[in-house]
Amino acid sequence: MPAELTDEQIHNVLQGIRIPPQPQIMVDLQMEQAMPDPDIEQIAKLIRQDVSLSGMMLKFVNSPFLQHSNQISSIEQAVALLGPTTVINIINGLSIKGEMSDQAIRAMTRFWDTATDIAQVSAHIARAIGAKNPDESYAVGLFHNAGIPLMMERFPDYDDVMMESYARNEPRLIDVENRTLNTNHAVVGYYVAKSWNLPPHLCEVIADHHNVQQVFAQTGTRAQERKTLLATLKIAEHICGNFAILGQQEEDHEWQRLQQDLLIHTGLSQYDLEEMAQNFRDMGITVHGDY
């Protein structure tokens, strides 16, 4: 039986949430919950397309209120464990936090679109290479850039800094952010993921998603798991054209540095990526023009 949370518990967990959910997803969810018999599977399907809503479900299901022995990283499992009443109450709690302006929605659209596409592609790649938990690859793909909306809110010129980061061929993409802003979206994303009660190893991968070469220099079983999560993420970012959509650039400098290590680790070839990319196009996922 799902354990329902009280209104007070929901209010407490919602405190401090600043990443807005996608307006259209909220509309679709409101329509579904208005049905005489809401479909929990359809609700889960809608939620897993949104960074903020997915984060909220994981934060609730992994909170001390529910006392699960293992931390949950699957959105579907989180929704099933919470149950329809609590899930709908969480959605309602988020929906009354204020509407965004049209300008804010436009600024967030690139972030939302890339997050969902990269999450789907990461999970498909994980399954293709036989990774043991594709749900974790999906979670990393969805949440890895969760720090970006907060950086946008904190720094009015963050878009310009992000484009410069992608334009400059520096050892790490976050070097420009560190130098200009004294922090970066990967660090902020780590704390967002941690506040959402994501499993610690996923939070660490989010923190290191622009420190890939450093992680790939490590050895041991734990390092291998992190390498796989980072490899599926970075390949997905490249296929989805993260450098072109977020960075507004024609070249993917980070991919050029990492490509050999990523392909060796996953056992994939350039031909495999091209074939995958065509399959993703057929699924309606945005794929960069090079594939």
% the chain with pLDDT above 70: 87
Q: What is the 3-state secondary structure (H, E, C) of 257-275?
A: HHHHHHHHHHCCCHHHHHH
Residues 57 and 166 in one domain: no
- CA angle at 252 for the pair 276 and 272, rounded to the nearest 5°: 20
> Does the residue 39 lie in any domain?
yes
Q: Of 71, 95, 119, which residue sits at a domain end?
A: 95
Domain of residue 136, residue span: 103-282
Residues 84 and 217 in one domain: no
- CA angle at 186 for the pair 287 and 204, rounded to the nearest 5°: 100
CA distance 291 to 287: 7
Residue 69 banded pLDDT, cuts 50, 70, 90: low
Report pLDDT for 30. 79
Structure tokens at 229: 């999560």
Residues 51 and 116 in one domain: no
- The Cα-based distances of 134 to 48, 111, 156, 258 in angstroms read 14, 22, 36, 21
CA distance 212 to 208: 7
Radius of gyration of the chain (CA): 19
| Positive or negative: CA dihedral 55, 104, 90, 117 | negative
Residues 55 and 153 in one domain: no
For position 172, which CATH number holds? 1.10.3210.10
3-class secondary structure, 41: helix
Residues 76 and 143 in one domain: no
Residue 10 banded pLDDT, cuts 50, 70, 90: very low
**Count of domains forming the chain:** 2
Residue 14 banded pLDDT, cuts 50, 70, 90: very low
Residues 85 and 110 in one domain: no
CA distance 246 to 219: 32
Residues 130 and 90 in one domain: no
Q: Which of 228, 254, 51 is nearest to 133 (CA)?
A: 228
The number of residues in the chain equals: 291
Mean of the per-residue pLDDT values for the chain? Answer: 86
